[in-house]
Chain A
Amino acid sequence: MAAMQSESMVLDCRQAAFLLGPVSMNVASRDAALTPSVARAFGCRIAADGRELTVFLSASHAAAVLRDLRAGAPFSVVFSRPQTHESRQIKAHGVRIEPLAPGDVDLIRAYGDAFVAECVPLGYAERFMRGFFVGVADDAVAVTFTPTAMFEQTPGPDAGKRMGPKP
Chain B
Amino acid sequence: MSVTLRDLRRCFEGAVPAAIATSSGDGTPNVTKLSHVQFVDDRHVALSYQFFNKTRENILANPRATVEVIDPGTATHYHLYLEYQHTETDGPLFEYMKARLAAIASHTGMSKVFKLLGSDVYRVLRIDAMPGGLTAAAAEGADLLSGLRACLAGLTGSADLAMLLDGVLEGLERHCDIRHGMVLMFDPQRGCLFTVASRGYPESGVGSEIGLGEGIIGVAARERSAIRIGYAVQDYRYVQATRQRFAESGGDIELDREIPFPGVPDANSQLAVPILLDQRLLGVIYVESPQEQRFSYEEEDALSILAGQLAMAIELLARNSEQAAEPVRETVALPQPPVAGSAPVEVRHFAADRSVFVDNEYLIKGVAGAILWKLLSEYNEGGRCEFTNRELRLDVSLGLPDITDNLDARLILLQRRLAERCPFLGIEKTGRGRFRMAVRRPVRLENVARC
Contact = CB atoms under 8 A, between A and B. Distances in A.
Interface in B100-147: 108, 110, 113-114, 128, 130-134
Contacts of A39: 68, 79
A53 B200 CA distance: 57
Contacts of B17: 24, 80, 82
Interface in B1-49: 16-17, 19-23, 25, 27-33
A26 B31 contact: yes
Interface in A52-74: 58, 60-61, 64, 73-74
A146 interface: no
Contacts of A77: 31
A51 to B, nearest CB: 20
In which size bucket is the chain A interface? 35 or more
7 contacts: A35-B64, A36-B65, A64-B128, A131-B75, A131-B76, A131-B134, A132-B77
A80 B33 contact: yes
B79 A64 contact: yes
Nearest to B55: A160
A74 B81 contact: no
B54 interface: yes
Contact of B133 (A24, A89, A134): A134
Interface in A27-44: 27-30, 33-40
Q: Which 4 A-B pairs have the closest CB atoms?
A: A131-B75, A28-B21, A28-B31, A36-B21
B51 A74 contact: no
Contacts of B234: none
Interface of B: 16-17, 19-23, 25, 27-33, 50-51, 53-54, 62, 64-68, 70, 72-77, 79, 81, 108, 110, 113-114, 128, 130-134
B77 A37 contact: no
A61 B21 contact: no
A139 B390 CA distance: 77
B131 A60 contact: yes
Nearest to B72: A128
A132 B30 CA distance: 23
Q: Which one of B17, B23, B31, B128 has the highest number of Cβ atoms from chain A below 10 Å of its Cβ?
A: B31
Nearest to A156: B113
A159 interface: yes
B45 to A, nearest CB: 15
B8 to A, nearest CB: 15
A153 interface: yes
Interface of A: 24, 26-30, 33-40, 58, 60-61, 64, 73-78, 80, 82, 85, 87, 89, 91, 124, 127-132, 134-136, 151, 153, 155-156, 159-160
Nearest to A39: B68
A119 to B, nearest CB: 9
Contacts of A36: 21-23, 29, 64-66
B113 A35 contact: no
Q: Which one of A30, A36, A39, A155 has the highest number of Cβ atoms from chain B below 10 Å of its Cβ?
A: A36
Contact of A78 (B23, B33, B114, B131): B33
A38 B27 contact: no
A35 B66 contact: yes
Contacts of B51: 155, 159
B33 A30 contact: no
Contacts of B20: 38
A124 to B, nearest CB: 8
B134 A127 contact: yes
A99 B296 CA distance: 42
B130 A76 contact: no
Given A36-B23, A61-B132, 9 more contacts: A26-B33, A26-B68, A37-B79, A38-B20, A74-B29, A78-B19, A78-B31, A132-B75, A160-B54
Contacts of B65: 36
A32 to B, nearest CB: 9
A135 B108 CA distance: 30
Contacts of A134: 75, 132-134
A61 B130 contact: yes
A79 B73 CA distance: 24
Nearest to A93: B28
A91 B113 CA distance: 25
A28 B81 CA distance: 13
Q: Which one of A37, A58, A129, A131 has the highest number of Cβ atoms from chain B below 10 Å of its Cβ?
A: A131
B105 to A, nearest CB: 9
Contacts of A129: 75
Given A36-B64, A40-B68, A156-B113, A136 B132 contact: yes
A85 B31 contact: no
Contact of A73 (B29, B76, B134): B29
A17 B108 CA distance: 24
Given A38-B68, A135-B131, A155-B113, A28 B79 contact: no
Contacts of A64: 66, 79, 128
Given A34-B62, A155-B113, A29 B29 contact: yes
Contacts of B70: 132
Contacts of A135: 131-132
Contact of B132 (A73, A131, A151): A131
B374 to A, nearest CB: 55
A85 B110 contact: yes
